[in-house]
Structure formats: C-alpha cells, structure tokens
C-alpha cells in the first residue's frame, strides 16, 4: 500500500520504495560558508567514479571552468564574485582600487561562454543581464563604468569584495521526479534513500533530464545514457564516506545520517547569525518543501538562484493525478465527439 505522501509531502523514501529494515537515510550537508573552492570534490568524484573529461577550457566564470552539473561533472563548484560595501568589514587599503567592481561586466560576458563537456545539453549559454545581477550581489551597486577599477571615484565609493563558493551536487530528493518518470526502471531508490541510475538498464530516453527541477541529470554524448551523482553507492555499501566528502579539506561537504545533518545545519545557521552573518540560510533542508526535502542540502549566503538553484522547486509529479484526470476527460470528450460525428447526420 503506497504512502498517502508517495507523490508529495514529508516521507521517508527508502521504506516507501519497498525496502524492509532500511538503514537510516544518508545525505550531504554542504556548508558553503567554509568552502574554499579547491575543487578537490570535483577531482575526487571524477577519480573514484571514473567520470570522463568534461572539457578543458576557461569559461570566464571566475574560477569555475566546469560550468554546471553535467553527465560528466557530478560535483560542480560554483564561484560568484560580488562587491560588498566596505562598511565595518575589511577596509580597502589606501592603494586599493576604488571604482565600481568589474565583476558584473565580466559575469555578463561569461554568460555567453561554453565548453565542450561531451554531454547534452551540457552547459548552455545564459542571459547576460541576469548574470550581471548575480555578480552585483545583494546590494546592487549599479553597473560598472568602462574604466578599470580604481579610477573615477573617491574613497567614499570604495567597495570590498566577497567570493561565494559552493559545491553543487544531485539533491537526491525525497520526491525524485527523475525516478518517478523513468520508463525503464533504470533509476531506483537505494536502501540509503538516495537515487541512482543503473547504467546497464538506462536506454537514454531523456525523460529524467526534462523532469529534474534542479537541472542536474544530463545525457552523455556518444554513450547516449543519462548520468548523475550516485552518492557513491558503492562506497556507502562498504560503510565508507563518498569520495567528495572524504576529499573535502574544510568539511564544507559533510556526509552522514540526514536527521543528524539537519540538526547540525540548524546549529550552524544559528551560530552564523550570532556572528553577524544574517544572510546565512539553509536550502533544501525542509521536509515540507516542494520536493519533500533534499537528501543533499546546503547552507547558502545569498539567494538560491545566485548559485543556479531554483528558488522554490516543486516535484512535477505532485500534479500527476490531476494531469491523468484531465487527460481522461479529454479522452472521453474525444470518444464522444467521434461517436456524435458518426451518429449525428446522414451525409
């Protein structure tokens, strides 16, 4: 008997998928406030999972030359450069540049770059204006002038700079649309509550790619199949920590039982608020959100969309019963119209 919340709402996914005596649900808590952008997670993931190369070129997106999560990049470290008002934080030195930041202009141009990731759709180009707003930060300071930093304005206009870094990954949703729509059963729910693609089953229909509200899963060119983070299912089975969390030197990526991680995250946010970082917030931690909570959730320092995350994702299958009903209604209308067309007249 499926749970009443099988399609939407708080749920423990592994027992719902039929696992008897499932172990506790495992997941990631990625605390971006301590991420240093070393990309050890990206490298460790590629090494352990034997993920192919994903292009070797510079994107102009700060230090991010990966671009996005793709079939060939299962961890992706995002880099965002934002100006901040100098305020009480580190004041710029006398010799420092004092003009408006170039980060917005640079981000706008970087929106158009690309890399041959060997996947489809890979890293598609973006909207320059939205990119500029991302780099402008929470306090938008106007567009930069054509001049290089350090000219044109006085010390009053000096700004500081902050660097947001965040290691993105598959969210292993409680309600995983990719899994729900998979027509072959290639995607399945593990006993740890994670979502994994079976490479020997997937036939590359591409449905999961359109269904994912986070734009995580992607198709590998030439190979044709869909690939994404497995939360190192093989390592989990052996009681080990996933490769990325193991490699993370600052423990920005924390792996463990989801319930425990959620407690740890709440405590961390409280600490940060206390220390004067009011912008710290959790993302994907809430079992009452649109996807029933993420197995991999985050602590962010700006709005989710700045990091390329949807602000309020909802699993598409929430509306599926209504969709089928509307389709049934249309099918009956069709049948009635066809009957009427043949009964309704003689000519």
Partner 1 sequence: MSPQRPPVGDRFRHFLSALGGATTPAGDPAVPQVAAPAGVPPTTEQRRGGGRRGGGEPLNVPPAEFTSYYGRPILKPPVWKWDIAAYLFTGGTSAGSALLAAGGQLTGRPALRRAGRVAGLAAIGASTFFLIHDLGRPDRFHHMLRVARPTSPMSMGTWILGVFGPAIGAAAVAEAAPLLPARGVLGLGRRLLPPVGHAAGLVAAVTAPALATYTAVLLADTAVPSWHEAYPELPAVFGGSALASGAGVGLLAAPTRQAGPARRMAVAGAAMELWGSHRIEHRLGLLSEPYRNGTPGRLLTAGRLLTAAGVAGALVGRRSRLLSGLSGVALLAASLATRFGIFHGGVASARDPKYTVVPQRERVRRREASHSEGES
Looking only at residues 50 through 89 of this chain, which bind partner 1 when binding is defined by CB under 8 A? 56-61, 67-68, 78, 80
Nearer residue to partner 1 within complex by CB, 129 or 270: 129
User: What string of H, E and C letters represents the secondary structure of 224-245?
Assistant: CCEECCCCCHHHHHCCCCCHHH
- 203 binds partner 1 per the rule CB under 8 A: yes
- Hunting for tokens 């808590």 — which residue is that? 29
In the complex, the smallest distance separating the C-beta of residue 140 from partner 1, rounded to whole angstroms, is 8
Contacts of 29 (CB under 8 A, 6+ apart): 253, 254, 256, 261, 262, 264, 265, 296, 297, 298, 299
Q: How far is the CB of 70 from partner 1 (least distance, A)?
A: 9
Binds partner 1 (CB under 8 A): choice among 196, 202, 243, 258: 202
Residues touching partner 1, count (CB under 8 A): 114
Quick check: helix, strand or coil at residue 25? coil
Contact 308, 168 (CB under 8 A): yes
234-273 residues in contact with partner 1 (CB under 8 A) are none
In whole angstroms, the minimum distance from the beta carbon of 105 to partner 1 comes to 5
Binding status of residue 229 toward partner 1 by CB under 8 A: no
Measured between alpha carbons, how far is residue 56 from residues 51, 59, 118 in Å?
14, 9, 11
Segment contacting partner 1 by CB under 8 A, of 43-51, 204-212, 256-264, 275-283: 204-212
Exactly one of 8, 161, 214, 298 binds partner 1 (CB under 8 A); that residue is: 214
CB of 7 to partner 1, least distance (A): 7
> Cα separation of 220 and 67, whole Å?
16
Among residue numbers 128 through 187, which ones bind partner 1 (CB under 8 A)? 128-134, 136, 140, 142-144, 146-148, 151, 177, 180-186
Strands (DSSP E) contained in 235-325 are 253-257, 281-283, 296-300
27 has which bridge partners? Answer: 256
Given 37, 100, 215, 292, the residue binding partner 1 (CB under 8 A): 215
CB-nearer residue toward partner 1: 165 or 243: 165
Shortest separation between residue 194's beta carbon and partner 1, angstroms = 18
Cβ closest to partner 1, residue 271 vs residue 333: 333
Can you count the helices (H) and strands (E) in the chain? 10, 11
Among 17, 107, 169, 258, binds partner 1 (CB under 8 A): 107
**Closest distance between partner 1 and the C-beta of residue 240, in Å?**
30
Q: Contact, 269 vs 257, CB < 8 A?
A: no
The three-point CA angle 216-139-75 to 5° equals 20
């Amino acid at each position: 008997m499926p749970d009443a919340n099988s399609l939407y709402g708080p749920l423990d996914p592994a027992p719902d998928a039929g696992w008897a005596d499932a172990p506790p649900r495992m997941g990631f808590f990625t605390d971006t406030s301590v991420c240093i952008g070393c990309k050890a997670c990206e490298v460790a993931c590629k090494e352990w999972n034997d993920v192919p190369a994903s292009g070797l070129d510079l994107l102009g997106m700060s230090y991010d030359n990966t671009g996005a999560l793709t079939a060939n990049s299962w961890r992706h470290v995002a880099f965002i450069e934002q100006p901040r008002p100098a305020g009480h934080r580190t004041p710029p030195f006398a010799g420092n540049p004092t003009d408006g930041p170039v980060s917005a202009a640079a981000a706008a141009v970087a929106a158009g770059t690309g890399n041959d990731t060997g996947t489809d759709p890979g890293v598609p180009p973006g909207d320059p204006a939205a990119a500029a707003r991302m780099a402008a930060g929470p306090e938008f300071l106007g567009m930069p002038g054509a001049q290089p930093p350090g000219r044109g304005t006085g010390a009053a206009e000096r700004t500081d700079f902050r660097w947001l870094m965040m290691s993105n990954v598959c969210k292993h949703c409680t309600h995983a649309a990719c899994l729900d729509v998979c027509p072959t059963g290639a995607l399945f729910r593990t006993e740890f509550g994670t979502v994994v693609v079976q490479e020997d089953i997937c036939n590359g229909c591409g449905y999961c790619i359109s269904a994912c509200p986070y734009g995580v899963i992607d198709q590998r060119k030439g190979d044709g199949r869909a690939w994404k983070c497995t939360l190192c299912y093989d390592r989990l089975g052996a009681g080990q920590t996933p490769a990325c969390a193991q490699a993370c030197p600052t423990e920005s990526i924390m792996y463990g039982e989801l319930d425990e991680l959620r407690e740890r995250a709440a405590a961390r946010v409280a600490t940060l608020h206390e220390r004067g970082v009011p912008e710290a917030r959790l993302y994907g931690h809430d079992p009452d959100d649109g996807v029933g909570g993420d197995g991999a959730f985050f602590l962010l320092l700006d709005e989710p969309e700045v990091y390329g995350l949807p602000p309020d994702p909802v699993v598409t299958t929430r509306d599926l019963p209504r969709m089928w009903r509307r389709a049934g209604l249309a099918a009956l209308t069709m049948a009635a119209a066809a009957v009427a067309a043949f009964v309704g007249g003689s000519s």
